Amino acid sequence: MADKRQRARVQGSWAKQPPKHSGQTGGALNSQSRNVNTTSGSWSFGNQTSSTNFEFHQSEKPIKDVPPERIIEQAGDYEISREPSGVSRLRLRPGFLCSEEADWMFSKLLAELPWSQKTNYRQGEAYEEPRLTCWYGELPYTYARSTMSANSQWHPLLLTLREAVERASGCSFNSLLCNLYRDGHDSIGWHSDDEASLGPKPSIASLSLGDTRVFSLRKQPPPEDGGDYTYVERIRVPLSHGTLLLMEGATQDDWQHQVAKEYHDRGPRINLTFRTIHPEPEGHKPGTKTQFIAKQP
Ligand SMILES: O=C(O)CCC(=O)C(=O)O
């Protein structure tokens, strides 16, 4: 992908072969075409002599630059985009938990939460998520065509953390998705948390414990780019032990996020994402995207 982004800096197109001289008959390798005086370039294959003219034409499309990746690592509130859909904002609080607190909480949650590996579905194919998860909330949560059952047996430490996160963020949360990345090979792919059950413009609070991993965001490309992410804005946010990150406003509409695999050693990391789940409207298919609801009268 980096290579593709690099190559994308140079744009242009090779012109089609110019029209053949009038009166010319036969295929591309007829005797007249062999004698064309080539000024721009020619190719020949073995002792087969053929010539083809090429001219370089600058693309009529404007040359686009690949924006440099932005790194956000200092505490603060960051407006990352402003679109018709609204403002997307990140709020970063490294050291939200001091390291001693974060140390014992990490050990306790690693040992005491009911971690398991979930099976998801993509284009009808089952795959095991490359991380362990568990879910807390009065309502179930469906994503990637598989459902985590409602679980109201909150671990007491998670209730304490929920209160602390609610105080810091000014939001209230009724649910929690816990992720355990066992090592650097565990990951979560590009996605937005935009299931209809999260409601429009959800605020999501993410608390990290354990080894630092990079949380990456990429902007949704404009419709004319047909799903090509080559030129989109990108942000990296290293999430260290005890860091709180809030995603707000239109972030789930206009950006995707991921935690990519890493190829050097990483220790385990727990990520707690506090969310609010709303009951699905009647007749609504669980786990489908927000747009579905937006289209309802
Ligand atoms: O582990 C993280 O920081 C991100 C988790 C995440 O993207 C999610 O649970 O939707």
CA 267–ligand 1 middle distance (angstroms)? 17
> Is residue 196 assigned to a domain?
yes
220: pLDDT strictly greater than 80? yes
Q: Output the ligand 1 site: residues, CB below 6 A.
A: 177, 179, 188, 193, 206, 215, 239, 257, 259, 271, 273
Residues 166 and 47 in one domain: no
pLDDT score recorded for residue 57: 74
The residue whose CA has the least distance to atom 1 of ligand 1 is 271
- The parent domain of residue 212 ranges over 75-294
Whether residues 200 and 290 fall in one domain: yes
Residues 118 and 244 in one domain: yes
CA distance 99 to 22: 81
Q: Which of 181, 190, 215 to mutate to test the pocket of ligand 1 (most atoms within 8 A of CB)?
A: 215
With respect to residue 24, please indicate whether it lies within any of the assigned structural domains: no
- Predicted local distance difference test score (pLDDT) of residue 24: 39
As a whole number of angstroms, the distance between CA 157 and CA 105 comes to: 8
What's the pLDDT band for 26 if we cut at 50, 70, 90? very low
| 43 and 149 fall within a common domain | no
Comparing 14 with 94, which gets the higher pLDDT?
Answer: 94
Q: Under the phi-then-psi rule, with left for phi > 0, alpha for psi from -120 to 50, and beta for the rest, what region is 265?
A: beta
Please state, rounded to an integer, the average pLDDT across all residues of the chain. 83
- In a domain? residue 8: no
Quick one: the chain helix, strand, coil %, rounded to 5?
20, 35, 50
Residue nearest to atom 7 of ligand 1 (CA): 258
Calculate helix-pair angle for 156-169, 99-112, nearest 10 degrees.
Answer: 140
Tokens of 222: 């404009």
Same domain, 100 and 165: yes
Joined tokens for residue 181: 């990345």
Tokens matching residue 289 = 């995207």
Residues 226 and 104 in one domain: yes
| Cα–ligand 1 centroid distance for 191 (angstroms) | 9
Same domain, 40 and 152: no
In testing the pocket of ligand 1, which one of 96, 255, 273, 274 has its CB within 8 Å of the most ligand atoms?
273
Find the 207 Cα to ligand 1 centroid distance in Å.
10
In a domain, 3, yes or no: no
Asked if residue 105 is part of any domain, the answer here is yes
Q: What integer is the mean pLDDT of 25-35?
A: 35
What is the number of the ligand 1 atom nearest to the C-alpha of 208?
A: 3
Q: Are residues 172 and 53 in the same domain?
A: no
Residue 218 lies inside a defined structural domain of this protein: yes
Asked if 214 and 173 sit in the same domain, the reply is yes
Q: Is residue 6 assigned to a domain?
A: no
Our count of domains for the chain comes to: 2
Cα of 84 from ligand 1 centre, angstroms: 26
CA distance 262 to 184: 5
DSSP symbols for 55-89: -EE--SSPP-PPPPPEE--SSEEEEEEEETTEEEE
Residue type for 252, please? Q
Please tell me the predicted confidence (pLDDT) of residue 208.
98
* Chain centre to alpha carbon of residue 64: 21
Ligand 1 centre to CA of 9 (Å) is: 31
Assessment of whether the complete model's pTM goes beyond 0.75: yes
One domain, residues 159 and 283: yes
- In a shared domain, residues 39 and 181: no
Look at 47-56, 254-263, 267-276 and tell me which has the smallest mean pLDDT: 47-56
Average pLDDT over residues 70-81: 98
Residue 284, token pair as written in the block:
């609504």
* In a shared domain, residues 202 and 155: yes
Length of the chain: 297
Instruction: Kindly report the CATH number assigned to the domain that includes residue 214.
Output: 2.60.120.590
Q: Strand, helix or coil at 135?
A: strand
Question: Is residue 113 within 8 Å of 103, Cβ to Cβ?
Answer: no
Cα 180 to ligand 1 centre (Å): 10
Specify the residue with its C-alpha closest to ligand 1, atom 9: 273
In a domain, 108, yes or no: yes
Q: Among 45-59, 77-91, 214-228, 264-278, whose mean pLDDT is lowest? A: 45-59
Ligand 1, atom 2, lies closest to the CA of: 271
